[in-house]
Chains A and B, each alone.
Chain A
Amino acid sequence: MNRFILPLTIFAVMVGFLAVGLTLNPREIPSPLVGKAAPQFSLPQLDDQDKVFSPGDMKGRVWLLNFWASWCSGCKTEHPILMDLAKSGTVPIYGMDYKDQKEEALAWLSRWGNPYPIVAVDASGRVGIDYGVYGVPETYVIDKQGVIRYKQIGPLDDETVAKKILPLVKELQAK
């Protein structure tokens, strides 16, 4: 019996490693920006090119920054969740129209609904690079001091909102 113990242990350890590996999503790369100040920008707004939006305007408030685009299918998936969240009034969601056409973005919002008080336009994708965006949709939770507290890669779902975003937002709002 003894001679089987060692191989069996090694086998069990390997199965353990592989089981954990299978539950990880290789597309989710931990962002080095969590815990750091949200990169500054000053970008024109989607509905009015003359007005600008900058994270500095949001000092003292907890808010979400959501990178989206009319060409992005995942953005359509998470859209109803953003609408619900916006309706609940818990936390404001600011939009960043990432590498998109203005007309198409406006049409998309009027067709599906607009959860954003303001949408900024990142036509060249440069602000996206500053935020380490590599696949829209991506959502950042930013605290009262302007520090990124959480980054969601890919579409938000009900579970993530209920278990991660909302508790974090409440905690940050209480501070």
Chain B
Amino acid sequence: MRWLALMLLLMPALSLAGEARPLADDPVVEARLKHLAVELRCLVCQNQTLADSNAPLAEDLRREVREMIAKNMSDKEIIDFLVERYGDFVLYRPPLKATTTLLWVGPFVLLLGGAIALVTALKRRGRKVADAAITDEEHRRVEQLLSQGVKRS
């Protein structure tokens, strides 16, 4: 029985882990690819970067980028290549142009609007508090009530 248990325990050792082999062995190319791929969006799994995605298209695009790196193309040339084909959507940081103005400026417009609304609301409230005038008689009564409250608690 014991040897059986031992054999069972050793079984996993038989399954040789097939480690993912890097397609390009040049570490410099891989480093540049990694640097570029985190800035690029996979078009199939749209919330993943080109670096994370396992979609076949992402693999093809990584291969394409690797080849462009091997051809010594600059980062800008490589990104332009992809934008020409897939549009600004491949970029995780969309460029500032006429169609993306709202995207870039929108949050600041909302922030400014919120700030203005807050300031006006506070000012209005401040005026309301100042407007409440009371007579001396009322004032005494209030103090009396408040002091009673203190005693009670």
Q: Do A and B come from one complex?
A: yes
The listed residue (A29, A99, A125) touching B43 by CB distance below 8 A is: A29
Q: Does A41 contact B (CB under 8 A)?
A: no
Contacts of B61 in A (CB 8 A): 129
**Interface of chain B: mostly helix, strand, loop or mixed:** helix
In angstroms, how far is the closest chain A Cβ from the Cβ of B91? 12
Pair B86/A29 contact, Cβ less than 8 Å: yes
Pair B89/A33 contact, Cβ less than 8 Å: no
Contact with A along B42-58 (1 / 0, CB 8 A): 01101000000000110
In angstroms, how far is the closest chain A Cβ from the Cβ of B34? 20
- Find the A residue at minimum CB distance from B57: A134
Q: Does A31 contact B (CB under 8 A)?
A: yes
The listed residue (A27, A30, A125, A129) touching B87 by CB distance below 8 A is: A30
- Find the A residue at minimum CB distance from B67: A126
In angstroms, how far is the closest chain B Cβ from the Cβ of A68? 15
- Find the A residue at minimum CB distance from B87: A32
- Find the A residue at minimum CB distance from B64: A129
Contacts of B64 in A (CB 8 A): 126, 129
Contact with B along A132-163 (1 / 0, CB 8 A): 10110000000000000000000000000000
- Give Cα A135–Cα B45 distance, bound, in whole angstroms: 11
The listed residue (A99, A125, A126, A134) touching B86 by CB distance below 8 A is: A134
Contacts of B85 in A (CB 8 A): 32-33, 129-132
Q: Does A117 contact B (CB under 8 A)?
A: no
With A125-B60, A129-B61, A129-B64 already in contact, the answer to whether A32 and B43 are too (CB < 8 A) is no
In angstroms, how far is the closest chain A Cβ from the Cβ of B71? 14
In angstroms, how far is the closest chain B Cβ from the Cβ of A37? 12
- Give Cα A45–Cα B5 distance, bound, in whole angstroms: 59
Contact with A along B61-84 (1 / 0, CB 8 A): 100100000000000000000011
Pair B87/A132 contact, Cβ less than 8 Å: yes
Contacts of A27 in B (CB 8 A): 46
- Give Cα A35–Cα B86 distance, bound, in whole angstroms: 14
* Listed A/B pairs (21) with beta-carbon separation below 8 Å: A26-B46, A29-B86, A29-B87, A30-B87, A32-B83, A32-B85, A32-B86, A32-B87, A33-B84, A33-B85, A125-B56, A126-B60, A129-B64, A129-B85, A131-B85, A132-B86, A134-B44, A134-B57, A134-B86, A135-B44, A135-B57
